[in-house]
């Protein structure tokens, strides 16, 4: 359902993505791993048009992603995004954050949107926080609200941009737990992450990116347990055994 | 002291007529400068180059010309171009335009202080540029912008006295007229000063209130 064909992107003279070709099938969980600055997040941001790309083509359900075309709105309502720093709207309550997209972008009746929002908040374990404001919540709670906000759009896929990197270590688990439940329910997910444990257990496929190219990809267990490429081996060694 | 009180009871009714015009000019130009300033600020942060440059140009022209010259231009030059305005209208429009530049810069600072992640989150749920502004950026910017906005209000109250240069008989001009016909400079200008101060106090309290509020998380 998501297809990338030879994507290239530069910031000035620096080429971040040097020809990325990949695809994500419906119901698949794909983890993107790699050193920082390798272009992982840029790939996600290109998929829902937060960044433009210089050449190549990205298709979502056959529809070309072009951030300057009106069609980008429909693509963004189909592919939600969860950010590293949550990016909840601090001036609105948790419930208002979740219904914002359905009510104001998709023009759903408010009552229906609220009903679904409460259900989603219950699903991420935060039913009782509906009337709180985001700054009153812990990082892990905020990220779970952000996931509920993404789900409220009833997307066909969700992009996760390092969803646990800004969290205190003891809060990582609650967010990964929610994500695993989503994966089990068959949600299509693309996850940029440094959580190798999550990738190993939940991902169907892993892409290892370095220097703007896909160095290695394949089923999660193969890439993570038995990497073929020297750069993958080196990266995994450093991530898994930092000392 | 007794002489002062006697003068006060005699001059206050005339001065209060000036106060009325001062308030009218201040409120009128405040509304106009706020609306125009918002337009310039939103144009200024637009990603469309021509729009943002046009706004930057307008702001610089307005900022680069003294308020008094802008007032003269609107009151004395516009009639030559076929637009006649009363002194009061000219004062409101002149001060409104003159201050719109400062309002715009204040609003822009507020808008640009909003975390980029907020805008990305809004876009990621399918909001367009205008809805992002209206639902996400502006409501958060207002809190940041209010304290400096209050200061601008105080400045505008005092600068409304410049309307006297185009014959609007607001407080400062009324005072000058009474003083020059009675020679009671001390009583008259003390009264004028007190009246300006009294009008400023609610605005000063307004600023303090919102500064406290903005300081909270």
Q: In what order do the strands lie in the sheet with A79-82?
A: A79-82, A157-161, A188-192, A29-33, A205-210, A213-219
- Residue B170 backbone phi and psi in degrees, to 5: -80, -175
pLDDT band at B131 (very low <50, low <70, confident <90, very high): very high
* Cross-strand pairs, A210: A213
At residue B217, the pLDDT reads 47
Closest approach of B114 to chain A, Cα-based (Å) = 11
Mean pLDDT of B67-90: 93
pLDDT tens track for B39-77: 999 999 988 999 999 999 999 999 999 999 999 999 999
**Who has greater pLDDT, B163 or B8?**
B163
Asked if residues B37 and B101 have their Cβ atoms less than 8 Å apart, the reply is yes
Helix (H, G, I), strand (E, B), or coil: what is residue B52?
A: helix
State both tokens at A93.
């309550």
pLDDT band at B4 (very low <50, low <70, confident <90, very high): confident
Contact B124 A81 (CB under 8 A): yes
* Among candidates B115, B124, B139 on the partner chain, residue whose Cβ is nearest the Cβ of A48: B124
At residue B95, the pLDDT reads 96
Report the alpha-carbon distance of residue A58 to residue A54 in Å, rounded.
11
At residue B85, the pLDDT reads 92
Find the residue in B nearest to A84 (Cα): B117
* Among candidates A85, A101, A135 on the partner chain, residue whose Cβ is nearest the Cβ of B125: A101
* Segments in chain A below pLDDT 70: none
Task: Provide, as residue numbers in chain A, all residues whose Cβ is less than 8 Å from the Cβ of B135.
Answer: 100, 104
Contact B126 A101 (CB under 8 A): yes
Report ipTM for this prediction: 0.91
At residue A228, the pLDDT reads 92
At residue A154, the pLDDT reads 94
Report the alpha-carbon distance of residue A31 to residue A29 in Å, rounded.
7
Between the alpha carbon of residue B156 and those of residues A175, B23, B58, B88, the distances in Å are: 52, 10, 20, 15
Mean pLDDT of B102-120: 94
CB atoms within 10 A of CB A115: 12
Query: Can you give the pTM of this predicted structure?
Result: 0.84
CB atoms within 10 A of CB A206: 26
Asked if residues B192 and B146 have their Cβ atoms less than 8 Å apart, the reply is no
- Residue B86 backbone phi and psi in degrees, to 5: -70, 160
* Among candidates A73, A83, A105 on the partner chain, residue whose Cβ is nearest the Cβ of B120: A83
Report the alpha-carbon distance of residue A216 to residue B130 in Å, rounded.
42
- Residue A36 backbone phi and psi in degrees, to 5: -70, 145
Q: Which H, E and C letters describe B67-88, residue by residue?
A: HHHHHHHHHHHHHHHCCCCCHH
């Amino acid at each position: 359902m998501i297809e990338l064909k030879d994507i290239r992107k530069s910031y000035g003279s620096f080429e971040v993505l040097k020809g990325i070709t990949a695809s994500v099938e419906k119901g698949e969980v794909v983890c993107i791993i790699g050193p920082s600055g390798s272009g992982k997040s840029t790939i996600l941001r290109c998929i829902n048009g937060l960044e433009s790309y210089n050449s190549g083509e990205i298709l979502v359900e056959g529809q070309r992603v072009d951030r300057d075309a009106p069609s980008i709105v429909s693509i963004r309502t189909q592919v939600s995004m969860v950010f590293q720093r949550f990016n909840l709207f601090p001036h609105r309550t948790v419930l208002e954050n979740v219904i914002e997209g359905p009510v104001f972008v998709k023009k759903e009746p408010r009552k229906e949107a609220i009903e679904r929002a409460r259900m989603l908040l219950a699903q991420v374990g935060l039913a009782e926080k509906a009337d709180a404001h985001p700054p009153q919540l812990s990082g892990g709670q905020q990220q779970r609200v952000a996931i509920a906000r993404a789900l409220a759009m009833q997307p066909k896929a969700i992009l996760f941009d390092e969803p646990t990197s800004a969290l205190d270590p003891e809060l990582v688990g609650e967010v990964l737990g929610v994500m695993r439940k989503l994966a089990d329910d068959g949600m299509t997910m693309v996850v940029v992450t440094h959580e190798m444990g999550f990738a190993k257990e939940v991902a169907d496929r892993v892409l290892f990116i370095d220097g703007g190219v896909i160095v290695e990809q394949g089923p999660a267990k193969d890439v993570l347990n038995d990497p073929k490429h020297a750069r993958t081996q080196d990266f995994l060694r450093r991530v898994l055994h930092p000392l | 002291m007794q002489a002062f009180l006697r003068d006060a009871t005699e001059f206050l009714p005339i001065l209060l007529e000036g106060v009325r015009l001062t308030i009218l000019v201040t409120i009128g130009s405040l509304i106009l400068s706020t609306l125009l300033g918002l337009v310039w600020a939103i144009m200024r942060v637009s990603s469309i180059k021509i729009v943002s440059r046009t706004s930057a140009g307008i702001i610089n022209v307005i900022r680069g010309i003294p308020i008094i010259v802008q007032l003269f231009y609107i009151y004395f030059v516009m009639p030559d171009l076929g637009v006649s305005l009363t002194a009061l209208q000219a004062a409101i429009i002149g001060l409104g335009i003159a201050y719109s530049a400062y309002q715009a810069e204040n609003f822009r600072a507020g808008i640009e202080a909003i975390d980029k992640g907020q805008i990305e989150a809004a876009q990621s749920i399918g909001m367009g540029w205008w809805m992002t502004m209206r639902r996400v950026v502006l409501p958060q910017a207002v809190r940041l912008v209010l304290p400096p906005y209050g200061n601008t209000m105080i400045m505008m109250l005092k600068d409304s006295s410049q309307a006297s240069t185009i014959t609007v008989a607001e407080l400062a001009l009324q005072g000058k007229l009474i003083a020059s016909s009675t020679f009671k400079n001390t009583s008259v200008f003390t009264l004028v000063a007190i009246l300006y101060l009294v009008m400023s106090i609610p605005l000063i309290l307004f600023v303090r209130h919102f500064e406290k509020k903005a300081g909270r998380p």
